[in-house]
Chain A
Amino acid sequence: MIVILCHPGDDAALWLAATMRELGGAGIELVTVEELVYSRRIVFRSNDDGDSGSIALADGRTLRAETIAGLVNRVSYLPTQHFARALAEDRAYAEAELNAFLMAWINGVAGRVINPPLPAALGGGTFPLPTLMHLAAMAGLPTHGWRASAAAGNDAGDDATPRWPTTHAAVVFDSRIFGMLLPRAFQDGCRRLAAMAGTPLFQVEFNQSERDGFRFVGATGAVDFRIGGKALARDLARAFARSAAA
C-alpha cells in the first residue's frame, strides 16, 4: 500500500493519486489527515523490535504502519476541531500529544516517507525564509539579501525587502530536476539546496524579469506535483518500489 496523506482539497495530491493509478500503480490510498487523527481506534506500539499497530478509518479501511510501502507526506497542519470544546489548557496539551503521536506514526511507517516529518514541521520541508535564503545562496542560487529587525517590526517570517511573484518553479526529487527548464547552473543549485535542507522532494521557486534575470523566491516541500508531471509521478512510484524491495 502507498499512502498519500493529505488534507481535503489538496488538488496536487489528488492529481498525484490519479496519475500514479493511471500509470499502473496498485494499492494507492488517499487518506486525509483528518480521517487519521479523528479515528476512534488508534494503536501505536513500539518496542525494541520496531513499531507496529493500526489506525481504523471511519470508512472501514485500516492503516498498518508496518505494511505501508511508501507514504507521501502532505501534512500542513494538525486538525484539532475535535478538541474545540476543551478548556484552553487541556486543548493545548491534547494538541501537543496528538502532534507527538502523528510525528512518530509518519516517521515509523515501514516504507519510505517523502518527505520525512521534521520536529518543526510535520509535513517536512518547511523552513523560515532567512534559512532558505542562506542555504540557497550557499547552493549557488541567485538570492537577494534579506534583513529583519525586531524593533522594525519584522520577524523571521517577514523582512523589509520586496517580494517577487513566482514565475518559474522546478521540482527536485532525489537529485533529479522536473518542471520548467532552468539554466544548468540553477539546476545544480536546486539539487544542492534540496540536499542541504535534507528534503528529498523540494519545489524551488524563482522570479524572472528582463531587468534582473532570475531571482530565488523560496522553496517548499509542499510540492505541486503537476509541475513535474507524469515523469515525477513515475519517479515517486519507482522510489517506493525500490524502498519496498530493499
Chain B
Amino acid sequence: MILVAGIPDERPLALVIEALEASGADHRVLDQRRTAESDLTLEIADAACGGAIGGTFELMGESIRLEAITAIYLRLMDHRFLPGFADLPPDSERRMRCHRLHELLNCYADIAPARVLNRPTDSGSNQSKPFQAQAIRAAGFDIPETVITNDVAVAREFIERAWAEGGSVIYKSASGVRSIVRRVAREDLPRLERIRWCPTQFQRHVPGTDIRVHVVGSSTFAAKIVSDATDYRYAARDIGVEPEIVACELDAPTRAKCIALAERLNLPLAGIDLRCTPEGRYVCFEVNPSPAFSFYEQRAGLPIAASIAGYLAADLN
C-alpha cells in the first residue's frame, strides 16, 4: 500500500493521487487538515525481533498496519500553519496532537522499510543552500560564485567588482526560507548596512537559460524556462509576462550528473535548478527536495506525476 500525505487538493499532491488512481495502485491519503481524526502509533520491536518497525495508522476510520505500507509520498505543509490549527493556542490538545502526529510521521518516514519520497532527514539539506552547494560541487557541477558576509565592505567590493566586470549580483536567502531572488541595484547600496545583523548571501549573476530537472529515481525530466525575469517564478508579477516553459533534452553527462547529485543527497525525488550559460556550461543553484513539479508538468507536458506514481508502486507486487 502507498501512503500519500499532505493537502490533497494542492496541485503536486493532487496529480500524484490522480496518477495512482489511474494506475490502480493501492493507496491511502492522509489529509493534513484532518489530522485530528487520525492517529499514528509507532512501535519499535526489541532486539530479539531485530528492532522491526510496526504500528498502526488510524486514517479516516480505517486501521492500517504500518507493515503494509510499501511506499510513502510526503508533501507536508508546516503543520503549525494548517487551517483549523494555526489559530489554536499552543497548548490546546488538538494542536498538540497534530504536532505529535507529524513528529511521529516524520520519524516513521525516516526509518520506514519502504520507498519514501523523500525521507524528512534527507530533505533537510535544502535548509542550507551553501551546505547543499558543497554537495553540488562534489557531484561535479559548477556553482555560482558566492559570498556570505556581515561585512558591508566585503559585500560592496563583491558587488562593485561584478559591476566593473560588466556583470551583476543577486541576493537571496541562504536558508530554506523561500525568498525572491533580486538583483542588487545602485539604490540598494545604502541598505547594505543592514547585513551587519546577520550574514547575508550574495551571488554573482549567471547569465543563461534556466533549466529545471526533476529526478525521479533514475528518470529525469528537463524543462527549459525562457524568461527575462531575475526570478522566473515571479515573472508574471515582476515583469508582467509568464515564463515560457518547454520540455528539453539533457546531454547524457549532465543527465548522469543530475542523477548522481540526487543520489548523493539521498533524494530519489529532486527538483534541480540549473542554468546553461551561453558557453554551454551548466551551473547548479540548488536541489529542491519537495519540488512543486506540477508547474513544469502542466506547462511542458512532462509526465512527472506518472513517474512518481510508478516509482512508488514499484514494490507493490
Instruction: Give the B-binding residues of A (Cβ under 8 A).
Output: 39-48, 50-51, 53, 82-83, 86, 92-94, 96-101, 103-104, 107-108, 117-120, 128, 130-131, 133-138, 140-157, 216
Q: How far is the CB of A61 from chain B (nearest CB, A)?
A: 17
Decide: B143 and A47 in contact? CB cutoff 8 A: yes
What is the chain B residue whose CB lies nearest that of A80?
B198
Decide: B106 and A156 in contact? CB cutoff 8 A: yes
| Interface residue? B240 (CB, 8 A) | no
Alpha-carbon distance A118/B103, docked complex (angstroms): 18
Pick from A82, A83, A101, A145: contact of B45, CB under 8 Å: A145
Alpha-carbon distance A53/B111, docked complex (angstroms): 37
Residues of chain B lying within 8 A (CB to CB) of residue A128: 107, 110
Decide: B41 and A100 in contact? CB cutoff 8 A: no
Instruction: Give the A-binding residues of B (Cβ under 8 A).
Output: 38-47, 49-51, 53, 55, 58, 96-97, 99-101, 103-104, 106-107, 110-111, 121, 123-131, 133-134, 137, 142-151, 154, 173-177, 196-201
Instruction: Known A103-B131, A137-B51, A153-B100; judge A47-B146 contact (CB<8 A).
Output: yes
Secondary structure of the A side of the interface? mixed
Decide: B196 and A42 in contact? CB cutoff 8 A: no
Pick from A86, A120, A138: contact of B121, CB under 8 Å: A120
Instruction: Known A45-B146, A100-B130; judge A143-B41 contact (CB<8 A).
Output: no
Extra pairs beyond A41-B150, A47-B144, A119-B121 (15, CB < 8 Å): A42-B150, A44-B147, A44-B199, A46-B145, A47-B143, A47-B146, A83-B197, A101-B199, A104-B134, A107-B134, A140-B47, A147-B43, A147-B55, A150-B38, A156-B106
Alpha-carbon distance A196/B88, docked complex (angstroms): 40
Decide: B51 and A100 in contact? CB cutoff 8 A: no
Residues of chain A lying within 8 A (CB to CB) of residue B144: 47
Q: How far is the CB of B47 from chain A (nearest CB, A)?
A: 5
Decide: B173 and A143 in contact? CB cutoff 8 A: no
The 5 A-B residue pairs with the shortest CB-CB distance in the complex, in nearest-first order: A137-B51, A119-B124, A104-B130, A96-B175, A100-B128
Residues of chain B lying within 8 A (CB to CB) of residue A151: 39, 41, 58, 97
Decide: A137 and B45 in contact? CB cutoff 8 A: yes
Alpha-carbon distance A156/B140, docked complex (angstroms): 37
Residues of chain B lying within 8 A (CB to CB) of residue A44: 130, 147-149, 199
Decide: A100 and B127 in contact? CB cutoff 8 A: yes
Decide: A143 and B46 in contact? CB cutoff 8 A: yes
What is the chain A residue whose CB lies nearest that of B197?
A94
A-B contact pairs, 20 of them (CB 8 A): A40-B150, A43-B149, A44-B148, A45-B146, A46-B143, A48-B137, A101-B199, A104-B134, A107-B131, A118-B124, A119-B125, A130-B44, A130-B111, A131-B107, A137-B49, A141-B47, A149-B41, A150-B41, A151-B41, A151-B58
Decide: A137 and B47 in contact? CB cutoff 8 A: yes
Residues of chain A lying within 8 A (CB to CB) of residue B53: 134
Decide: A46 and B131 in contact? CB cutoff 8 A: no
Decide: A40 and B143 in contact? CB cutoff 8 A: no
Q: How far is the CB of B256 from chain A (nearest CB, A)?
A: 19
Decide: A131 and B199 in contact? CB cutoff 8 A: no
Instruction: Known A130-B107, A131-B110, A134-B53; judge A45-B147 contact (CB<8 A).
Output: yes
Pick from A97, A140, A149: contact of B174, CB under 8 Å: A97
Instruction: Known A97-B198, A148-B41, A151-B39; judge A46-B173 contact (CB<8 A).
Output: no
Residues of chain B lying within 8 A (CB to CB) of residue A119: 121, 123-128, 131
Instruction: Known A40-B196, A100-B174, A157-B103; judge A133-B131 contact (CB<8 A).
Output: no
Decide: A46 and B97 in contact? CB cutoff 8 A: no
Instruction: Known A97-B199, A100-B129; judge A43-B51 contact (CB<8 A).
Output: no
Q: How far is the CB of A186 from chain B (nearest CB, A)?
A: 11
Alpha-carbon distance A143/B107, docked complex (angstroms): 18
Q: How far is the CB of A163 from chain B (nearest CB, A)?
A: 15
Pick from A101, A130, A137: contact of B130, CB under 8 Å: A101
Residues of chain A lying within 8 A (CB to CB) of residue B147: 43-46, 53
Decide: B101 and A150 in contact? CB cutoff 8 A: yes
Residues of chain A lying within 8 A (CB to CB) of residue B55: 147
Decide: A42 and B149 in contact? CB cutoff 8 A: yes
Alpha-carbon distance A119/B264, docked complex (angstroms): 14
Alpha-carbon distance A32/B180, docked complex (angstroms): 33
Q: How far is the CB of B299 from chain A (nearest CB, A)?
A: 30
Q: How far is the CB of A22 from chain B (nearest CB, A)?
A: 34
Decide: A155 and B100 in contact? CB cutoff 8 A: yes
Residues of chain B lying within 8 A (CB to CB) of residue A45: 145-147
Alpha-carbon distance A153/B100, docked complex (angstroms): 7
Alpha-carbon distance A99/B49, docked complex (angstroms): 39
Alpha-carbon distance A99/B177, docked complex (angstroms): 11
Decide: B43 and A155 in contact? CB cutoff 8 A: no
Pick from A82, A137, A150: contact of B46, CB under 8 Å: A137
Alpha-carbon distance A155/B95, docked complex (angstroms): 13
